[in-house]
Every structure is written in structure tokens, then in C-alpha cells.
Structure 1
Amino acid sequence: MTTSEKTEEKPKDAPQVYTFRDEDIQRARDLVGVYHAVTQREQFTRATPDVMRNFARSYGDDNPLFVDEEYGLDTRWGGQIAPPMINIGLTKDLLADPVPKEQRRPSFRGIHVFVSGTTTDWYRPVYDGDTLYSFQGFSDVELKESEFAGRSLIVTRSHVQMNQRAEIVQIQKVITIHTERHESKKRNKYKAIEPATYTAEDIAKIDEIYAAEQRRGGQVRYFEDVTVGEDLGTMAKGPLTTTDMVVFHSGGYGFAPYTPSTGRLTYKNRQRIAPFYIDNEQGIPDVAQRIHWDSDYARSIGLPAAYDYGMMRDCWLTHYLTDWMGDDAWLVSMSSQMRKFNYQGDTHTITGEVVGKRVVDDQYLVDVEFRGTSQRGEVTCPATATIALPSRETGLVNLPTAPKEFEVVAAQMLKRHGELRAERRNAAR
């Protein structure tokens, strides 16, 4: 046994400590650029009016284009379409051949994972009846020291989603920070942060922002009418509560394969991914994921309170953009960073401005910079985006073209899915 492999003898009741293994880090690096079918399903697998409506409402979006099955019939889309971030709640499992052992992803079990940013490109809308499939792989793996948690692994994973016709719907790159639990617990830099409290007057000021929010809707926003420096308005989100987290999950955020469960399903999940379950103060195994709604647990690892999901703030950011751009525009891309935690009780205002205009081929594009700012005055989620607007000269926007290499992979994976499904049917006869 080498020095690095030695372990100190611990009391029987000491919490288990999980650390990065060098072989897991190397395997992750070896898998950069290798894509595999997503063989697990999310909470939903097919878009329906109810799924689209409930998902939009889960993060506070009441845009009729997303929540009203009749409204979209009179728009350029010809029907109700799904909100941009529907991918986090809608994926059907793909049938695929077993992944070779040398290409299996390391699990990093027992390691905290934080979403620190995403970049998403959208290529076509999701309609009622569409089924979404996905394949994914590592795009980048970097080992570094983190101020909060010591040794950290920065992993960028690309998620490619396609519909039942093998058409690429969107590509999302998610940057995650993996940290060792025993290290993060030693860091106390966030303990000085006081939980937010509010007076009736404070809530009234937030309500004023909500009351003043405007959605562009069917009033076409033309490219020619937009000016660089133009203010995109202000949107409120918060104060964040446990209820917000419950609604977000019930509305569609499945977080597979760690989907919250209960009863016998939880028992089965504990057998499958035991390190994901950590005893609470009553000695009951509960998900590490409760850090998003259990402030006592969050404080036990050095944070002042429970905090939201990075994906929730991405939903907020797309909500801000789609309200501003109107029904006839198309959200081409968005990049966001999660620089600060958004704790229970925090309130955010989202503001932004136009920073550029350009015409590329047959697309009239507007570039924007925007951000979510907490009541502490901290920008927790800066972002940039590109929006295609209709032009008075050409009329409707043209949708972007998906990368050819991913279209080829999508067609191959869906073809194999069909073959395996046929084999299963024949074997069952």
C-alpha cells in the first residue's frame, strides 16, 4: 500500500469520507469526445399541452405560447411550443448496445456536484406529441483548486437532444464542479452570510416589480426597431422558498438518475446509489440533493442555507428573454454562469441590455448581456444571449442549422434504437 492509499482508523460512527480517485479522473479525461445514448428517462418523455404548461409554470412563466394550447395556433409556430429549457424535464430513454467497460463514465460517488454554467444552442421548437431523446459525453475535464472546496474537478458535459425524427432540437453544454465533501465542510467563508429577512414594505417593493413586468407576446419586435444600448426591462424572481423547489420538481425537473422518490422506490434507489444518501439528524438516510431545500443540512457543510439549482436560474434567464423578444423571434443561444449561490430567502432582479446587432447570412441577430442580481447587490448569474428577430424586409426568422456531425450521430442512434426495439418485440412473441 502506498502512502497515498493509507487511511487513518476512524471511530465506527464517523461519517464516511469520499475523495477523488486518480483512475476516475483519468477515465473522465479519456472519454472527452465520446458520446453515448442516454438510456434513462426523465420525468416526462413526450411533450403534451399539460407537460409544457406545467413545466413553464414551475419556474413562474405564464407565457401563453407555452401554457395555452389554443394561443399558438395563431402564431408563426402554428401551435403551442415548449419553453426553451424543456430538456431538463423531458427525455425518453434510448435503447442502445451496452457501453464497453473502458468507455463507462466514472461515477464520482459521494462527491458534491455544483452546476456552474451552461451554454445552450436551440435549433427547432418542440411541439405537442414530440418525443425527445438524448446522447451526451464529456467535452472537457480539468482538475483545479477551488476557494470553496479545495480540490475540484471541472467537467463540461455536452447534452444533445433530438426528436423522434432524429432532428437536433438543442445542444447544451453544462459545466459542473465536483468537490470532495470533507473538504467543502472545512471551508467557512460563507458562514458570515446572514439569511434574508423581509418587512411588509420590502415585499411590497418586490410586488411592484412583478406588477410592472411586461411580455412582448404577439406585438412583433422587428430587428430594425432595436437599438444598441436598449434596456430589456426588469424581472423579479423570489424570495426563494422551499415551495419554489417543490414546484420546480413537480413541474418537471426530474434530475435523473437522482430523481426524488419515496417509499419502496427510495429503498431501491438506496441500494443502487448508496453514497448519495446521507443520514439526517434523525439517523434517516436522505438524499444529498436535499441541500436544495434543507437548510440544516446545507449549514452542516459550511453554507448558510439551502440554495437553488443552477438549472432553475437558467429557466429564469430564458423566461426573461422570451418575454422581451416576443412570439415571432427565436432564441438562438444563451451562455450563463452561476457565480454565487442563491439561498433560500434571496430575491433576484434580472436586468439586461442590447450590446450588438448583426446580420449573418439570412439571420437578423441581436446580442444581449443580462444578469440576475440578488438583494445583496451581488450578480449571481451573468449571461449573454443571441436572439434572431424578424426583419421588416424579409418577414419570418429562419431557424439555425444544427451541426452535421451531430445529425449523423442522432440518425445512427435512433436507427439502432428502432432495431433493438424490434428485437425485443420479436423475442417476446
Structure 2
Amino acid sequence: MTTAEKSEAETEIYEFLETDIQQARNLVGIYHAVTQREQFSRATPDVIRNFARSYGDDNPLFVDEEYGRDTRWGGQIAPPMINIALRQELHADRVPRDQRRPAFRGIHVFVSGSTTDWYRPVYDGDTIYSFHGFEKVELKESEFAGRSLLVTRIHVQFNQRAEVVQAQRVLTIHTERHESKKRKKYDAIEAAAYTPEDIAAIDELYAAEKPRGAETRYWDDIQVGDSLGDMVKGPLTATDMMVFHSGGYGFAPYTPSAGRLAYKNRKRIGPFYIPNEQGIPDVAQRIHWDSEYARSIGLPAAYDYGMMRDCWLTHYLTDWIGDAGWIESMSSQMRKFNYLGDTHYFTGHIVGKRIEGDRHLVDLEFRGTSQRGEVTCPATATVSLPSRESDLAILPTAPAEWERIAAQMLKRHGELRAEKRRSDQA
């Protein structure tokens, strides 16, 4: 490609991005039903257990079908981040062309952080639906890749009774894909290496971990400054990434597939498939397990998903609060990459305690730190704990407006399903 042709190609990318940027801004505040199904559509004991295990969580509240019956929940409940694996599609009217999400083709997407609010548990038998929209769109210059678009998307999940179970705001960074630009800032990062003694030291930390479980942690007994304990995750491997996917992270609507389904997927979203070193079209998402591809765009190795570290962060919290506690909200940031081979150490402490109405709340700061000493995922959270006066943590109330929208969408979902059945029978 000549210099002139290269310049023209880059101009076309920038013009395309301007269209996407304006479209994204036009959609702020508009909600639509999510019409794509996730890996799973209904919670079952197997779905709940396998999702918890996909990120290394063996809390019996999540993985044991019988254990929860003797807790305040009366049965097995799902881990906090189940929303990334569980969703049934909603039947909805076609979205008007001027309200469709921009494709953001030709650019990489990175999850930078998220804020999640939890309102109710997900039980065996629950079906989860969702609506979503853009909450904020910002354009900025990025140290990593020049011009970037910061998009905050909100995803509201609700059950078959139109009860909102959680809402998640996800900050994604969209950066233009210029394969030839090598990021010199990453040249000094070396792949992690471990001796048998190093692995033994990590194993000692794993051996010491256990969820608090039935031993109630009371709000009255904790103090500002108290440690939340220690947890380890890693060293990260490509196997971890595969287990995470097989446990439920389906990455809809891109949904990496195999065989004939992969062919159909490639026809549907061709730009998502980029030829590998053998000339085979493969998903751009392989940057999470294919280090050769990661190095081709200037990174030292493949890296994890931000959502995987959110799972780790909530695992750290649920181990600490015990069976009777509840995570009300968590905000996390993904400041550094977590490469294959990296090990993360989770630590944290209490920064505040307060009473709001009938809820006894605790504010926490915690973080994951890599073996390089870099804090890659700082986070804050508010949890509700039982008090000595009340053995149950009180759950927050979901916004009434969201439940109104959920009820409307479920109603339309039912109407459209009925129309389809009548059409099929005609």
C-alpha cells in the first residue's frame, strides 16, 4: 500500500468513526430490550455451579444444591456476576434505524471498568431478561492508541416476575485498530516465569483460603481499618480462559462458534474475524488466549477479560461477608492488563460503616495486585451485613422506574410470542 493509499484508508476509518460517535451520542438515555440470548437462559443448579467454578469459586452457597436450604436464602443462589452468562432473549418490536447501536467496526474494544448494583438473588428456576442503553459517550486522546471513545453502557437485568435483580454500568474504551503501530510502552514487560518453589508459595495461599460461610459476620463486630484477608488468583493460563467460557461466558452477540456455526457467524459479522498466521479467519476475541495475535498488535501476550477480574473481585467479597451478607454495589477499574502467566493477590480493608434506614452498611476498598507489584484492578464496594439486633442483612430496593420498564417489556414479549404462535398455526 502506498503512502497515499494508506492515508486514504485511515481517513475512511476516521470518517466511519465520526458516524459511529454521533450515533452513540444520539442513543444516550434510550433503552431497548436485549433480544440476544446468552450462553444460558434459565438458572439451574448445574448452570449456577458451573459458572461459579469457571472462575475458581467453590463457595457451597453457589456450588452445592443442598447447602443453601439451611441459609437465609432457602436454597442455592447464583454468584453475583451470573449476568454475564445468563439471559433469555426478549421478543420486541424492531428497533428504528435511527436508534440502532453503531457497529464500531475496525476498532478494538477494552473493558475499562464497571459499577454493579445488586437488588435480589437469582434462584434455581429463574429466567433472566435484560434491557440496555448508552448512559454516557466521551471522546478523548488515549495514551495507548491515540483517539479513543469512552462509552458507558447500562444493562438492567430482571427476572420472569419483572423484578430487577441487578444493574451494571460498563465502561468500554474503543480504540482504532492500527496493526502496524507497536506500543513501545509494553516492550519492557517480560512474561512471568515460576520455579517449583514459587508455585508452592502460591499453593500455600490457596490452601489457606475458605469462604466464611455459616459463621455470621456481624456489622457490630467490624471496625474501620480491619483487613479483608488475602486471596490469590493465577498464574493465569489459556486453560483458565477456556474454562471461563465453558462455564458460561458466551460473549453475546459475537458468540464465538465452531464448524458450520462459525461459518454462519463469519457471514453475519465478517469484520470480527481476522486471518491468523495460517490464513484462517478467526475471532478478534482470540486476543484473550492467542499470544501470537496479541504480539502482532504490540502487546506482550494475551490477556484476560475485565469481566473475569470482576468475578474474582466479587469472589473475594462473598468469601468475606459470609452466607448472611449481601453485596449492594461494587465499582471496579481495569488499569493494567492481566497477561497469561500473571498472578494476582487480592487484599483490602474497611473504610467506613454506617446505618441507612434498616440497612447496616460497610464500605470497602480492595484491589488485585500482580506479581509485578502493579495494582491492575482497584475496586470499592458497599456491603450489607447482619447486626446483632437483626440476623439478616437487609436488601436494597430497585428503582421503580426500571421495574415499570421491565414489566412493559415482558408484556410486549408475551404479546409478540402469542402473535407468532397464531401465525405459525395459521
Normalized against structure 1, the TM-score is what?
A: 0.96
Match of 1:3 in 2: none
Q: 1:290 aligns with which of 286, 293, 298?
A: 286
Q: 2:272 aligns with which of 267, 272, 276?
A: 276
In 2, distance between residues paired with 1:148 and 1:352? 29
- Is the contact made by 1:149 and 1:183 (CA closer than 8 Å) also made in structure 2? no
In 2, distance between residues paired with 1:254 and 1:203? 31
Q: Which runs of 5+ in 2 are unaligned?
A: none
Normalized against structure 2, the TM-score is what?
A: 0.97
In 2, distance between residues paired with 1:205 and 1:251? 28
Alignment RMSD (CA, Å): 1.6
Match of 1:415 in 2: 411
Q: Residues 27-426 of structure 1 correspond to what in structure 2 (within 5 A)?
A: 27-182=23-178, 185-426=181-422
Residue 87 of structure 2 aligns to a residue in which SS?
A: coil
- Is the contact made by 1:229 and 1:353 (CA closer than 8 Å) also made in structure 2? yes
In 2, distance between residues paired with 1:118 and 1:359? 25
Question: Cα offset for 1:213?
Answer: 1.2
In 2, distance between residues paired with 1:17 and 1:374? 39
- Is the contact made by 2:179 and 2:297 (CA closer than 8 Å) also made in structure 1? no
Question: Cα offset for 1:246?
Answer: 0.2
Question: Cα offset for 1:258?
Answer: 1.4
In 2, distance between residues paired with 1:271 and 1:22? 25
What stretches of structure 1 move > 6 A for 4+ residues in a row? 14-17
Question: Cα offset for 1:183?
Answer: 6.9
C-alpha distance after superposition, 1:205-253 (max 9, x if no partner): 1111111113100000010011110101110000000000000000000
C-alpha distance after superposition, 1:240-289 (max 9, x if no partner): 00000000000000000111211111111111111111010000000000
Paired residue total: 421
- Is the contact made by 1:119 and 1:336 (CA closer than 8 Å) also made in structure 2? yes
In 2, distance between residues paired with 1:17 and 1:281? 26
- Is the contact made by 1:185 and 1:300 (CA closer than 8 Å) also made in structure 2? no
Question: Cα offset for 1:18?
Answer: 4.6
Code of the aligned partner of 2:172: T
C-alpha distance after superposition, 1:95-130 (max 9, x if no partner): 000000110010101210000000000000000000
Code of the aligned partner of 2:27: L
